[in-house]
Amino acid sequence: MKYTWWILQLLLLLVSIFFLVFGLDLLAAAYRLEDPFTFIMTFFAASFVVLISAALAVTFVIKMIRVYRRIRAPRV
């Protein structure tokens, strides 16, 4: 039961990294578009995906570090 939290956090971290890479790929693909309106909409959507997935990835990493430090801290 205690390993399920770690597995869930790693799974969520991997999902957020996947969407980060997907957003970066979509951002690069936006520059190949011909229509200015389509470029703007794709650019902002990809930027939003990158922003949210990067924030979630950082959050999951910080949460895992805090829990690891709390587990390894000497009991007084």
Tokens representing residue 4 in the block: 């399920």
Asked whether the predicted pLDDT for residue 1 surpasses 70, the reply is: no
Say what the pLDDT of residue 40 is. Answer: 97
- Over 70: is that where the pLDDT of 16 sits? yes
Q: Is the pLDDT of residue 44 over 90?
A: yes
Find the angle CA(28)-CA(17)-CA(47) to the nearest 5 degrees. 40
pLDDT at 75: 79
Interior angle at CA 68, CA 51 and CA 10, nearest 5: 45
